[in-house]
Amino acid sequence: MLSENAKAEIEQLKGKYPDPKSALLPALYVAQREHGWLSPEVMRDVAEVMDLPPAEVASVASFYTMFNRQPVGENLIQVCTNISCSLLGAEHIVEYLKSKLGIDVGETTPDNKFTLVTVECLGSCGTAPMMQVNDTYYENLTEEKIDRILAELAERKG
């Protein structure tokens, strides 16, 4: 499952730390970047390169919200609904995205383009309301801004 390149990258990461086990989170990121999510098979490969029991790798991965243990759409839309964002209308942003995408929170569009989730504070409270799509922050959201962002993302080739 895991490519030879990815395995080599993980080996290299292990050398960056006084104890190679510290490279586990970075290794899981490498695996997720390659596969989009962490299937049991992929985690088993990570365990092998990391020289750790597969159950331990699965247990660590499950502790952290950023490791997807289920497949997600091409674009993972994460709307912050914590305090500063909700003071400035995060709930409305979520409702708007739900109606635009025709899905509920936690769901993926049938074309697999978008998954919608709500998340905790992303450290962008001064530019609320905001969302993160994959790695990118989109701040000071309005309906028009969301229309533009979704149109751009939908056009992008998967």
Partner 1 sequence: MEKFLLRNVGVPNSHEIDVYIGRGGYQALAKALKEFEPQELVNLVRESGLRGRGGAGFPAGVKWSFLPKGVYPRYLVCNADEGEPGTFKDRVLIEHDPHGLIEGIIISSYACEVEHAFIYIRGEYVFGAKRLEKAVAQAYERGYLGRNILGSGYDLELTVHRGAGSYVCGEETGLLTSLEGDRGHPKLKPPFPASQGLYRKPTIINNVETLFNVPFIVEHGAEWYKGFGTERSPGLKLFCISGHVNKPGVYELPLGTPMMTLINDYAGGPSKPIKTVIPGGSSTPMLPPDVLETLTLDYEALAAAGSMLGSGAVIVVGEGTCIVRLVERLAEFYRHESCGKCIPCREGTDWLYKIMHRIEHGQGREEDIDLLLDICDNISGKSFCPLGDAALGPITSSIKHFRDEYLYHIRERRCMV
Q: Which residues bind ligand FES (CB under 6 A)?
A: 80, 82-85, 121-125, 128, 130
Is there binding between residue 154 and partner 1 (CB under 8 A)?
no
Regarding 142 and contact with partner 1 (CB under 8 A), the answer is no
Question: Which of 113, 121, 118, 119 shows the shortest CA–CA distance to 150?
Answer: 113
Total residues binding partner 1 (CB under 8 A): 39
Token readout for 83 is 């305090």
Cβ neighbours for 85, distance < 8 A, ≥ 6 positions apart: 79, 93, 121, 125, 128, 129, 130
With tokens 């709307």, the residue in question is 79
Contacting range for partner 1; rule: CB under 8 A; set: 83-91, 94-102, 108-116, 147-155: 83-91
- Beta-carbon contacts of residue 96 (< 8 Å; ≥ 6 apart): 143, 146
**Contacted entry of ligand FES, partner 1, none for residue 130, CB cut-off 5 to 8 Å set by kind:** ligand FES
Contact between 92 and partner 1 per CB under 8 A: no
List contacts with partner 1 (CB under 8 A). Answer: 16-19, 21-26, 28-29, 59-60, 63-67, 81-84, 86-88, 120-128, 132, 135-137
